[in-house]
Amino acid sequence: MAINNRYDIERHKSEKYEKDRKQKRKRKKSNIMLNRFIGFLIIIILIYSFYGLSVNVFHKNIPVSIAEPGQIENKISTIGKIIRNETVVYSTYSGNIEYFSAEGDKVPKDFVVFKIKDKNTETNLTEKIDKIDQEIKTIQTKREDVSYYKPEFEEINKDIDNSIKKYQRLLGTNYSFDIYSLRNEIESKINLKNTLVINENTDTTVGYKDERVVYEKELSENEKTVKSQESGIVSYYIDGFEDIYKKDNFLTVFDNKDIDLKKMINSAKKEVINKGDPAFKIISTYDWYIACKVGTKQSENWLVGENKKIRFVNMHATQKAEIQDIIKNKDTNTILFRITEQMQNFLQFRNIDIEIIESATAGIKVPNSSVCNVNVFVIPKECISSDTKKRFITKKISGSNVRQDIDIFCEDSQNVYIKVEDETVHISDRIISKKDNIFKIKNSGKIQGVYVILGNLAKFIKIEIENSNENYCIVKSDSEYSVKMYDNVITYPKNIKQGEFIK
């Protein structure tokens, strides 16, 4: 019995030992796997960190510009001098002015532009007439029942009562009314009644009416009308050069230096005018002219009768203008333009900044600084072959066909371009096309292009410049090989290489 117990104890110890040994082995294996995973993770982190460090240390972070839609104009900036067919009208009287025409109005011949009258005389005569009218009304009111206009008086009184009652009914309702309209309505009817009262001929008012006629005549004589002598456009901007700036002698606007210094144009419109003062002017035709000076080389091919587009810089307006005359000189030509529209918008100007737009080119705009020139050899695409390794050409050398691997710098629809510095192609090389024709390299040439960033790599793209100014150029964009809208273009490509990594 004791032996059996001892055997059981030994067996239990053995089983426990074996179980502990297996658990330790399992834990050890798990720790090894965990350590391997941690080690692998650390390696990944180190690789990523090294890559990020290499990007920051070894690769370029350079300025770029966006290829965007734009327009470049070939324009000539100069000062234009406005010439109109204008006549100044001077006042022949002194007095207060009442205007009947506004700035820029079109008026017919004999239109009353304004009236001149002595304000004190007018006030005195008007007061006398008003006093006579009051006397007549007092007399006539007393005999209203026997008046010739009694039926009209009764009708007017009835209309006034009806108007008042109508507005009384609206009080306290949701309908709104204008009290001033009621007042104007009643005053209109009262004035009509007063007119009938004053104009009725009776023995008791004859003396008053004769006196009233005298005062009315004096009032009429106090009022002088000033009319337009011809049809046209009225303007009150008068600068004193209306008789100097003429189409037939437009060169004189440049001969007199005092005219160049004259900038201000004053309005003749005022409340009181003196005899002999300029009152207004009439522009009798809708054609107006601009004289200006343009460099001889810039205008050497211009012809009379041609149309140009003129921009008025400060007005932000553009007009079509016909060349009316050209006076040629050694350094500058004097040009006379004729314009037929919108003269009213320029009545207050004499000298004005203008731009003569020769041409305008629209397309993709890139900075001039991004354009570079590269020396290349041009090879037709029909001479290019390829295999799984690389593209190549076949040269004819001493009667044998020799393969030459090449690095194509850029291409378009017809040709590929190989950099001269690669030294894989040389002048006088004879290249065999796919149709067994011989293409001979005669010389090298320069191509223009820009570097764009595609997938963080610099790629040279050949371009055709259609127009340019001091800062930008317009690139032709009708080819799949050209710059595309919104490409990232390297602004300063000096020392940039094809395929270079760009941040």
Q: Given pLDDT bands bounded at 50, 70 and 90, which one contains residue 265?
A: low
Number of domains within the chain:
2
pLDDT at 92 (0 to 100): 86
Residue 439 within a domain:
yes
In order, the DSSP letters of 399-419 are TEEEEEE----EE-SSEEEEE
Burial of 156 (0-12, 13-18, 19+ CB in 10 A): middle
Last residue of a domain, one of 222, 253, 284: 284
Q: Which residue has the higher pLDDT, 278 or 189?
A: 278
pLDDT at 53 (0 to 100): 46
Same domain, 380 and 265: no
Structure tokens at 442: 């005669």
Do the Cβ atoms of 194 and 149 come closer than 8 Å? Answer: no
pLDDT at 496 (0 to 100): 92
481's torsion region: left (phi>0), alpha (psi -120 to 50) or beta?
alpha
pLDDT at 82 (0 to 100): 94
> In the predicted model, what is the mean pLDDT of residues 254-271?
63
Residue 245 within a domain:
yes
pLDDT at 203 (0 to 100): 63
Same domain, 214 and 92: yes
Last residue of a domain, one of 284, 316, 332: 284
Query: Could you give the CA distance from residue 117 to residue 226 in angstroms, rounded to a whole number?
Result: 11
| CA-based torsion, 408, 409, 411, 414: positive or negative | negative
> In the predicted model, what is the mean pLDDT of residues 235-245?
88
pLDDT at 402 (0 to 100): 93
Q: Which of 361, 376, 381 is nearest to 448 (CA)?
A: 376
Query: If you ran DSSP here, which 8-state letter would residue 434 be given?
Result: T
Residue 58 has pLDDT above 50, yes or no: no
Cα 444 to Cα 243, 377, 379, 419, 447: the distances in Å are 65, 5, 10, 9, 10
Residue 388 has pLDDT above 90, yes or no: no
Chain-centroid distance of CA 394 in Å reads 57
Same domain, 277 and 402: no
pLDDT at 9 (0 to 100): 61
pLDDT at 447 (0 to 100): 94
pLDDT at 56 (0 to 100): 46
Same domain, 273 and 382: no
Place of tokens 């140009």: 308
Q: Given pLDDT bands bounded at 50, 70 and 90, which one contains residue 97?
A: confident
Q: Which residue has the higher pLDDT, 53 or 390?
A: 390
> In the predicted model, what is the mean pLDDT of residues 308-337?
93
Cα 479 to Cα 66, 483, 485: the distances in Å are 18, 8, 12
pLDDT at 302 (0 to 100): 94
Residue 475 has pLDDT above 60, yes or no: yes
Last residue of a domain, one of 235, 266, 284: 284
Same domain, 272 and 392: no
Top mean-pLDDT range of 54-68, 75-89, 217-231: 75-89
| Strand locations in 84-155 (E) | 86-90, 95-99, 106-107, 112-117
Residues of the chain above pLDDT 70, percent = 80
Do the Cβ atoms of 325 and 331 come closer than 8 Å? Answer: no
Residue 256 within a domain:
yes
Residue 351 within a domain:
no
pLDDT at 94 (0 to 100): 85
pLDDT at 55 (0 to 100): 45
- 121-130, 332-341, 424-433, 486-495 — which is least confidently predicted? 121-130
What φ, ψ does residue 73 adopt, rounded to 5°? -110, 140
Residue 27 has pLDDT above 80, yes or no: no
SS3 204: helix
Query: Could you give the CA distance from residue 448 to residue 372 in angstroms, rounded to a whole number?
Result: 6
In order, the DSSP letters of 217-242 are HHHHHHEEEEE-SSSEEEE-EE-S-T
Same domain, 254 and 402: no
Same domain, 233 and 112: yes
pLDDT at 250 (0 to 100): 87
Query: Could you give the CA distance from residue 338 to residue 82 in angstroms, rounded to a whole number?
Result: 10
Same domain, 279 and 376: no
Q: Given pLDDT bands bounded at 50, 70 and 90, which one contains residue 473?
A: very high
SS3 501: strand
Residue 227 within a domain:
yes
pLDDT at 152 (0 to 100): 78
pLDDT tens sequence across 400-423: 999 999 999 999 889 999 999 999
SS3 178: coil
pLDDT at 270 (0 to 100): 82
> In the predicted model, what is the mean pLDDT of residues 220-240?
86
pTM reported for the whole predicted model: 0.61
Q: Which residue has the higher pLDDT, 329 or 3?
A: 329
Do the Cβ atoms of 417 and 377 come closer than 8 Å? Answer: yes
> In the predicted model, what is the mean pLDDT of residues 203-215?
71
Q: Which of 10, 14, 223 is nearest to 121 (CA)?
A: 223
Q: Which residue has the higher pLDDT, 133 or 14?
A: 133
Query: Could you give the CA distance from residue 383 to residue 437 in angstroms, rounded to a whole number?
Result: 9
Same domain, 106 and 223: yes
Same domain, 279 and 388: no
Q: Which residue has the higher pLDDT, 59 or 35?
A: 35
Same domain, 279 and 400: no
Structural domain of residue 232, as residue ranges? Answer: 86-143+202-284
| Strand locations in 313-350 (E) | 317-327, 332-339
pLDDT at 124 (0 to 100): 79
Residue 497 has pLDDT above 50, yes or no: yes
pLDDT tens sequence across 114-173: 888 877 777 777 787 788 777 777 776 766 665 667 777 778 888 888 888 877 777 766
Residue 260 within a domain:
yes
pLDDT tens sequence across 336-376: 999 999 898 899 898 899 999 988 899 999 999 999 999 99
Mean per-residue pLDDT of the chain:
83
Q: Which residue has the higher pLDDT, 192 or 84?
A: 84
Burial of 354 (0-12, 13-18, 19+ CB in 10 A): buried
Residue 481 within a domain:
no
Residue 55 within a domain:
no
